[in-house]
Amino acid sequence: MVKAAKVVVENATLRFDKPYTYLVPQNLQAKLKAGCRVVVPFGAGNRPRFGLVMEISDITSSDRLKEVASIVDEEPLLSEEMLYLVNYLHETTFCSYFDGVRCLLPPGIGVAMTYTLELAGQTDPTLFSGEQLQIIEYLQGRGKPVKEQTLLNALQISPDAPALRSLVSKGTVIRSQEVKRRILDEKMVMVRLTQDIYELSDIAVKITPKQKAVVELLLQVGQASVKEVCYFAAVGKTVVDRLEANGVVRYFTREVYRNPYEGTYATEDVKNIHLSQQQQTAYEELCRLADEEKANAALLYGVTGSGKTEVFLQVIDHVLQGGRGVIVMVPEISLTPQTIERFHRYFGKRVAVLHSALSMSERMDEWKRIKNGDADIVVGTRSAVFAPLSDIGLIIMDEEQESTYKSEKSPRFHARDVARVRAAYHKGLLLLASATPSVESFYRAKQGKYHLLSLKERYGTASLPDVYILDMAAQQMDARCACLSGELIRQLRENLDRGEQSILLLNRRGYNTLVKCSVCGKVAECPHCSVALTYHSANSHLMCHYCGYTAPIDAKCPVCGSKFLRFSGAGTQKVEQELEELFPDARVLRMDMDTTMSRFSHEKYFSDFSAGKYDIIIGTQMVAKGLDFPNVTLVGVLSADASLYAQDYRSFERAFSLFTQVVGRSGRAEKAGRAYIQTFTPENPVIALAAAQDYEGFYQEEIESRKIHLYPPFCDMVGIGFSGGNLSQVQRAAKGFLDQLAVTAANEYPSLPLRVLGPCESQILKIAGKFRYRMAIKCSYNSTTRELLWKAADWYYAQNEFKGVGLSVEPRYENSI
């Protein structure tokens, strides 16, 4: 019997993406474990590739097996559960194995493979000529190992140059491989007394008064950083160096975590939070569910401001007392500042944070804190669902209906699905929470698949705001403003006079959303995408919000040669300018993707707004959800119609959720709140239901429509995407896949219920120079359906005529075709 490793290889094409069996050499058998990264020879040329060991097993025959070349990790990076998740992502989202691995690991922990070249010994240059002579002379001139890429660049030769290959194969030049971490651990130099020194009299050498001060400090504290020793003993580093040279002290290093929230401590006790009767009932039921030794799922449905977070905190405290870990997810980075601040206030350093606004090194160190057991509460966005907690008792998804929980790139997973899998693995509780749950989740709760808990009243003395619908066709507009009705302007002035704050929602960034030629009417479009360019006043450029293309505002019309001078449509920049003109005494804050690009900008802006440094926020959907500002008493929704008529079956659900959530930001404390929704279609029932905060009324209308038209939750939707640089090839690829799918389904799965829509152009045909076609499949997304899709995908990857046309399979597809 010999040891073999099942290894998945990085950068393998999907056609060849599978676990490969490698022989484990004798010298690695004691070290190599499942979950470790390795370097293996791959392909006909035995090129070294990074891989991940999925499994170690015993086999009887090792004929023709290649050997694992080396180990990258001393200890496994991925646990048994995480390896299970890699397989789960591969199977259900049609991603490569390594795409799944990248999801589970922080980006900073990646490794890079580099090569160095050096001469094997004394070499006579006269024996060589041409490129070989150039290589020999270059290496002799350097006199030490040289990075291969440096030599290739200097001599302008390719890595596969015959001259270099010949020198390496003959042993004249030695090619060495180095594996380096992209981001290294942060180390602190520490100092302590040597092992046999317990008091001053144990020191055999003569020491100076300054050295004595160092020794006395270390006798007292045991160990300290060099920086601390120098500070508290009031000495320079040379004093410590002399003690080290004389064998009195020893230097060593200790890893330190780069924590952006260093210095945060628990300052309040969760038990001091007073719960209402409804909250107490929900808390007790959730604790009961968390204590059961089986997987459970619950939906906490509560109106905006009902105090769901207070219930979270108490349930988390209960789960922690049982010695289990907790994951808390929020849908957007903009929600993390207030959430993190609150969790730090009650749980201090037990909280780790995972989201994309952290630097790579900080994310890596937070991941290590979790893995090492130094943090047992993880707060973050979608990626936090993969936090490496070893024993999970509770996973919370706040605002669970939000589409940001769904990944738009490979692997195309939904955090709710992964959370359900992890909760089942650990026999823990999955808690979904929202004032506007997804139709699918509320349906599951109504069917008894989730435990349904409700909070129907606002917390404390707060009450729901009064909501008014403003018909923009009948509203009188102020001559100075194209975006705000006269009524909303009057309400903003009243709030300013009372010293109260206001939030305005406009889900479009930029200044003008449409720019046309003043002569022929040609719209300014992105040359790489099928979308109109947006004018940004901050940099006086036209910008594409899909690929990032920019053009100066004085760009000429490609049709008639005149300049683009007609501007229409309003974004957040235009509204900001109009507010400053209408209310010169007001302090206006704009929050959109353009103003929140810098690190921790969300924290700063929300903190300043909470502290009263601003009177009005104008922002995109990042200001609509989950925020709690006691002095906000007015909310305005601008251009509500833009959210209602998107081309997908969830457009009404998203619009209702957005309106309800932003309206709920108003009147969350003692002061009464009010909200105004500006629309040209006041008769739309979604607007009326959102104004009434009537989720259950909306649900009844929406679930009937879904049932009639056969949309989730009455079926699953799978999207198949095709993208490439040649439109006709993309069209042929889409038709070819459909034909093969139909043949395979008819021959091998005749009883499998399927409805295929398309293929047709995507809603935006071209993005970043790639043409896109889509098809949607209504089905039950079970193992049989996935088996059919995998067979069709395998056939597709084998077709040379479709090379260059990417294929993507997207579970939980949401666009209707």
> Would you say 95 is a known binding-site residue?
no
3-state secondary structure 629-686: CCCEEEEEECCCHHHHCCCCCCHHHHHHHHHHHHHCCCCCCCCCCEEEEEECCCCCHH
Torsion on CA atoms 442, 100, 738, 800, rounded to nearest 10: 170
Q: What whole-number distance in Å separates Cα of residue 431 and Cα of residue 298?
A: 5
Per DSSP bridges, beta strands 514-517 and 111-119 are: unpaired
The two structure tokens encoding residue 749: 């799965």
Pairing of strands 616-619, 501-505: parallel
| Chain centroid to CA 55 | 28
For 431, phi then psi, to 5°, come to -115, 110
Burial letters 516-539, b for 16+ CB under 10 A, else e: bbeeeebebbbebbbbbbbbbeee
* C-beta separation of 366 from 262 below 8 A: no
Do 574 and 508 touch, CB atoms closer than 8 A? Answer: no
Q: Which two tokens stand for residue 260?
A: 């952006």
Among 774, 758, 763, 764, residue whose Cα is nearest residue 809: 774
Extract the tokens encoding 239: 């004093």
Closest CA to 73 of 181, 176, 178, 177: 181
Question: Among candidates 498, 484, 815, which has minimal Cα distance to 650?
Answer: 815
What HEC string does 19-59 produce?
A: CEEEECCHHHCCCCCCCCEEEEEECCCCEEEEEEEEEEEEE
- Comparing CA positions, the residue from 586, 793, 693, 626 lying closest to residue 90 is 793
In this structure, the number of other CB atoms found within 10 A of the CB of residue 507 comes to 22
103 annotated as ligand-binding? no
Q: Is 547 annotated as a binding residue?
A: yes
Q: Which helix (H) or strand (E) holds 485?
A: none
Q: Dihedral through CA 281, CA 283, CA 289, CA 290, nearest 10?
A: -170
Place of tokens 């833009």: 642
Query: What burial class does residue 194 get, using C-beta atoms within 10 Å of its C-beta: 0-12 exposed, 13-18 middle, 19+ buried?
Result: middle
Q: What share of the chain is helix, strand, coil (3-state, %, to 5)?
A: 35, 25, 40
Cis peptide before 759 (omega within 30 of 0): yes
CB neighbours of 782 closer than 8 A, spacing ≥ 6? Answer: none
Tokens 């992105």 locate to: 526
Strand pairing report for 111-119 and 146-147:
antiparallel
Hey, which residues does 550 pair with through a beta bridge?
543
State the maximum Cα–Cα separation within the chain, in Å, rounded to a whole number: 95
For β-strands 296-302 and 429-434, DSSP reports them as: parallel
560 marked among binding-site residues: yes
Q: Is 520 annotated as a binding residue?
A: yes
DSSP one-letter string for 434-462: ESS--HHHHHHHHTTSSEEEEE-S-STT-
Would you say 684 and 644 are in contact if contact means Cβ atoms under 8 Å apart? yes
The whole-angstrom separation of Cα 109 and Cα 208 is 45
Nearest alpha carbon to residue 451 among 660, 305, 292, 275: 292
Tokens at residue 393, please?
């008792």
State both tokens at 14: 């999907």
Q: Which two tokens stand for residue 550?
A: 């920019």
Binding-site annotation, residues: 517, 520, 526, 529, 544, 547, 557, 560
Binding-site annotation, residues for Zn(2+): 517, 520, 526, 529, 544, 547, 557, 560
